[in-house]
Structure formats: structure tokens, C-alpha cells
Amino acid sequence: MSALFVITLLGLATICWIASNPMRIRKRRQGIARRPFPASWRAILKRRVFAYGQLPDHLQQELRRKILVFVAEKQFIGCNGFKINDEVRVTIAAHACLLLLNRDTDFYPGLRQILIYPDAFYVNRSEQDAAGVVWERHALLSGESWNQGQVLLSWRDIAQDCAHPFDGFNVIFHEFAHQLDQQDGRADGAPPLPSTERYQSWSSVMQREYDSLCQAAQWGSPSLFDYYGATEPAEFFAVITEVFFSKSREFSALHPALYQELANYYRLDPAQWR
């Protein structure tokens, strides 16, 4: 057998192995999803994830399966002395996977690690002013999504959000909405959509509602959405995602066109959950 022939066979084998990778990942995930869901994890869902009790039975089952895969694939890291346990893993995984229900997903493919701090944390920020001068500053945050494969979260803020599920704020929803937005390589308020028509509809409705929030923020007018959403389109998408899952009935009544865009994207209608 010639050396060239051996090299050719090895090359073909490598190509076949790479080509089969999605199938192997899918089979591995199917195996993980079939594992028994621990009773202690169900108790955490009932205690920490109010939306779980509102879901139809088939979506509860799907959420449990997705949680098993998410916890198996993502690395949870405690920072500043914070200790990781099942309460932390399941609470974060459940909220992150609520955004993935009812649709095919690759489980946040760019995400490798979730870093959890006991409280709000500081990060270094570089900002450029109108004159082109770059300033370095420390920013105190409850969460942040990085396109280098990490999400940073404050457990104190997570616990507060879980204790007040109807106030329109949820740092996990917010940061994982950013992860969805970043899947096409940039955070611009438009996650990957299936067609040109969907982008056109999305752009029209989002721009109108974003402009409305910017005006409300400028004049201090009442709004269902936090003014932070007026910072930029990426933050607008994250903020309205928080409200979509935590104040869905008010959202649907006050902003029906915007609500429908998110319902089409997430393939969910939480305003109809029990």
C-alpha cells in the first residue's frame, strides 16, 4: 500500500468524521435528554422558575429535556468565592432554555461558560466620546454577554428576579437574549431570522417601537419597557425579551404588533399560559 494511498484514506476518514459531527452531537444530546430528571431539580424549578408552573405539560417536558442537555454541555464557574451547586445550575439553565422552547436549537453554540458572581460585579469598559477620545472606566453590572463564549451573571440579582417574576426584569433572559442576537456575529437587535420577509417585518416593527421608547425616555413618559432599552437596538431586544416572558399579558395588550414579532421568533405565546 503506497504512502499516497494511506494519506488519501486518512484524509477521507477525517472528512467523514467532521461531516458526521452534527449527527454525533444530535445523538449524544438525545441520549442526555432521555436521562431521568432528578426530583430535586423539579423542586428547584417549582421554587425558582415561576414560568415552569404556567407551561403546558408538553412544554414542561421539553424544558426538562433541554435543561439536562444545557447543564451537561455548559461550564458553570463561581467567581469571587461563589460556590456552584444544583440550585444555581438548574435555575440558570431553566431560564436560558425557556428562550429555546418549541424550536430547533443548537443550545447557544457560541457559549462555553457561565460565570456567576455572588453580587453585582465590576468590568473594565473602553468608551469613545464624540471627540474620539477613548476613556477607561469600571462599570458595575448584574450581567453581561460576551461573544467570546461567556455570560456573566450576579446570583443576588437572579434570586431577586426569581422572587419577583412579574416585575418585567430578569437578568438571565436579558443576557441570553444577547446570546441569541450575537449568533450571526454581531449584536444589533436582530437575531437570525428565517427569511427576508421576516427581517422586513422585524425591522419595521422594531424600529417604530424603539423610536417610541427613545422618545419616552427623552421626555420621561411612562413605558412598559425599561428606558435602558433605548440605549441601542441590541439592548432594546434584550429588554423586551425580559418583558415578553415576565409581563406577557400587558405586553400583548399594549404593544400587539411587537408582541407578535417576538411570539413568531420564540414560537411561544406566554400571554396564553395558565
Q: Where in the chain is the domain with CATH 1.10.472.150?
A: 27-164
Q: For the domain bounded by 188-274, which CATH number is listed?
A: 3.40.390.10
Q: For the segment 138-164, what is each residue's pLDDT rounded down to a tens digit?
A: 788 999 999 889 999 999 999 999 999
Q: What are phi and psi of 250, to 5 degrees?
A: -65, -40
Q: How far is CA 227 from the centre of its chain?
A: 20
DSSP conformation class of 60 = H
- pLDDT at 140 (0 to 100): 87
One of 3.40.50.2300, 3.90.1150.10, 3.30.750.24, 1.10.472.150 is the CATH number of 27-164, namely 1.10.472.150
Burial class of 37 by CB neighbour count within 10 A (0 to 12, 13 to 18, 19+):
middle
Burial class of 193 by CB neighbour count within 10 A (0 to 12, 13 to 18, 19+):
middle
Q: Where in the chain is the domain with CATH 3.40.390.10?
A: 188-274
pTM over 0.85: yes
- What is the pLDDT confidence band of residue 132, given thresholds at 50, 70 and 90? low
Q: For the segment 198-256, what is each residue's pLDDT rounded down to a tens digit?
A: 999 999 999 999 999 999 999 999 999 999 999 999 999 999 999 999 999 999 999 99
The pairs formed by 223-227 with CB atoms below 8 angstroms and a separation of 24 or more are 224/168, 224/250, 224/251, 224/254, 224/255, 225/168, 226/168, 226/169
Residues 6+ apart with CB under 8 A from 182: 110, 145, 147
Q: Are 243 and 161 in contact (CB under 8 A)?
A: no
Instruction: Report in angstroms the alpha-carbon separations of 254 from 98, 108, 187, 209, 218.
Output: 23, 31, 26, 11, 20
